[in-house]
Structure 1
Amino acid sequence: MLSRAARPVFKAGTAAAAARPVAIGATNAANYATLREIEGRLKSIRNIEKITKTMKIVASTKLTRAQRAMNESRNYGQTSQEVYEQAETKPLEGENKKLIIVCSSDKGLCGGIHSGLSRKIRALLQQNANFDLVILGEKCKAQLVRSSPKSIVLSFAGIGKDVPTFADASAIADQVSLLPTEYSSVQVLYNKFINATSYEPTFIDAFSEDAITQSPNFAAYEIEDETLPNLREYSLANSLYWALAEGHACEQSARRNAMENASSNASDMIGKFQILYNRTRQAVITGELVEIITGAAASADA
């Protein structure tokens, strides 16, 4: 028999023991919810990892074709540049505007390859340079239309879906030659392929007719005046083909690297969430065992 002084203490301990399973049950419910959330997050990250690995494989396959087309296009572009170098052709300095053709594409998920071209143009705008823009691809257009919408005189969509061809470059050169403004110089901005992991925004000079005729050694080629517009348009098409092919190779290389980094990051996240999932699951099991033991002890005391 317990004394009257000990009975209140016993009742308080019994009440606390009875209340403890309720608190543990609430904690277990929260852990179950957290466990389901972690499991759902793990599932989504694993799906993302599968997608990025597949995109990396696709980009690696396309990179081989892109590099082959890039090597072929250099024969076109570098030949035109050799003609201008032999003729000592230089851009004209005058009050007329310059024209810059930006070679980007419509696709993303390739790192900052398009942003590098846009930064180059913004740096020129900060120097108060007087030029118009022709943009190939929606990515650079979306970036530059916010900062310099009035400078954009022509844009092309559907660029970068496949390996560029000379026919694509010729069609673009035809539209550029129809622009009504007389430009003192024309430049093509593209991503120069350095190696499989690096690229650099670079300019190619595509000279105007006046710049070609005023070249010191141009008379050595004995080109008739009637064929000069065709020569200028053909050399512009060569430069565009070269720029588009190199830009496409850079894009595929950058996309492969970006997907490789994304797959690596997803793998790291899966490892961290798996550890968190195991710890949370162990906490749920421990809570259930504590609840069972507490209930058994309370039943035995009763």
Structure 2
Amino acid sequence: MATLREIQQRLRSVQNIEKITKSMKMIASTKVAKAQRNMDTARAFGVASNSLFQSAETKATDGGVELIVASSSDRGLCGGIHSSVSKATRRAVEANPEGRVVVLGDKPKAQLSRAVRSNITLSFNQIGKAVPTFTEASSIVDVIKADGIEFDSAKIVYNKFLSAISYEADSITVYSDNAFKASPNFAVYEIEDDVLANLQEFNFANSIYWAMVEGHAAEMSAKRAAMENATKNAGEMITKLTMTYNRGRQAVITNELIDIITGASAL
């Protein structure tokens, strides 16, 4: 059995962990509201820009190159956020083994490297430290373009925010300018080629921004829930350890009293 000193050291350790998890929960709680406000704005712009493909009835061409963008972050301690995106990305790769993968965040990169390493073409880190911005999304698109990654359709896999306690993996589809030109209703739009290229790049950046911001909101909510559960578990452990320590201390005092009484009786 553990000695009283060992129990006391473990008790102090768990108490320190409880203070940390409680602080992290409070920090995540303050970030959730801001993340949700940014998510609502990004979602509105994202839906509006992607409605262009719906109106034109754009579809992926048969045998076309598909790009899969896994959008998550670098941070941990947030439940199954990263696993959700990684599993959905692996399913997308299984459906299209030749698909090229771009990973946003070190956490999903570490998970996907074990399963679809050969498909990963590009990866980004320093993701998720703060609320994502459109500038970051535009920079990601610029790097993808500069790297010469061509595609007919891009599937952006992200965590869709459902509520403060739930999320699910979803995807946003973006098409290339050539796929948009081949749309049945493209003729109703009077768009020049140079404008069409800029529009496609903007839609791509806007969709990545939407996925990043919505994923960030889901991550903050998941982190708050995870830290709340961790704080609760630490509190229960502290109660058990305190009870164990008090019982052990009481047993030591009782034994000392017995020794004193026995010694006095012997005299």
TM-score (norm 1): 0.85
Q: Which residue of 2 aligns with 1:149?
A: 117
Q: Distance in 2 between matches of 1:136 and 1:195?
A: 23
Cα displacement string for residues 241-264 of structure 1 (whole angstroms, at most 9, x for unaligned residues): 111110110110000000000000
Tell whether 2:98 aligns with 1:130.
yes
Tell whether 2:208 aligns with 1:240.
yes
> Could you list the runs of 4 or more consecutive aligned residues of structure 1 that deviate by over 4 angstroms after TM superposition?
none
Cα displacement string for residues 1-59 of structure 1 (whole angstroms, at most 9, x for unaligned residues): xxxxxxxxxxxxxxxxxxxxxxxxxxxxx8xx711111111111111111111110100
Cα distance, 1:184 vs structure 2? 2.9
Structure 1 stretch displaced more, 281-290 or 174-183? 174-183
Q: Distance in 1 between matches of 2:146 and 2:161?
A: 30
Paired residue type of 2:226: A
Q: Distance in 2 between matches of 1:232 and 1:184?
A: 11
Q: Distance in 1 between matches of 2:196 and 2:152?
A: 16
Q: Distance in 2 between matches of 1:174 and 1:205?
A: 18
Q: Which residue of 1 aligns with 2:54?
A: 85
Cα distance, 1:122 vs structure 2? 2.4
Q: Report matched runs for 1:169-188 at 5 Å.
A: 169-188=137-156
Q: Report matched runs for 1:44-59 at 5 Å.
A: 44-59=13-28
Which entry has the higher C-alpha Rg, 1 or 2?
1
Tell whether 2:234 aligns with 1:289.
no
What is the RMSD of the two structures over their aligned residues, measured on CA atoms? 1.4
Q: Distance in 1 between matches of 2:187 and 2:253?
A: 90
Q: Indicate if the aligned counterparts of 1:209 and 1:229 stay in contact, CA closer than 8 A.
A: yes
Q: Percent identity?
A: 53
Q: Which residue of 2 aligns with 1:67?
A: 36
Q: Distance in 2 between matches of 1:188 and 1:128?
A: 14
Q: Distance in 2 between matches of 1:188 and 1:238?
A: 11
Q: Distance in 2 between matches of 1:85 and 1:124?
A: 21
Q: Indicate if the aligned counterparts of 1:93 and 1:184 stay in contact, CA closer than 8 A.
A: no
Uncovered stretches (5+) of structure 2, i.e. residues with no partner: none
Q: Distance in 2 between matches of 1:36 and 1:164?
A: 47
Q: Which residue of 1 aligns with 2:229?
A: 261
Q: Report matched runs for 1:4-43 at 5 Å.
A: 34-43=3-12
Q: Distance in 2 between matches of 1:228 and 1:240?
A: 18
Q: Indicate if the aligned counterparts of 2:102 and 2:123 stay in contact, CA closer than 8 A.
A: yes
Structure 1 stretch displaced more, 239-248 or 114-123? 114-123
Q: Distance in 2 between matches of 1:244 and 1:165?
A: 9
Partner-residue secondary structure (3-state), 2:17: helix
Q: Distance in 1 between matches of 2:5 and 2:158?
A: 48
Tell whether 2:136 aligns with 1:168.
yes
Tell whether 2:170 aligns with 1:202.
yes
TM-score (norm 2): 0.96
2:80 to 112, 118, 121: 112
Q: Indicate if the aligned counterparts of 1:104 and 1:190 stay in contact, CA closer than 8 A.
A: yes
Q: Distance in 1 between matches of 2:203 and 2:191?
A: 14
Q: Indicate if the aligned counterparts of 2:89 and 2:157 stay in contact, CA closer than 8 A.
A: no
Cα distance, 1:127 vs structure 2? 4.6
Q: Indicate if the aligned counterparts of 1:101 and 1:134 stay in contact, CA closer than 8 A.
A: yes
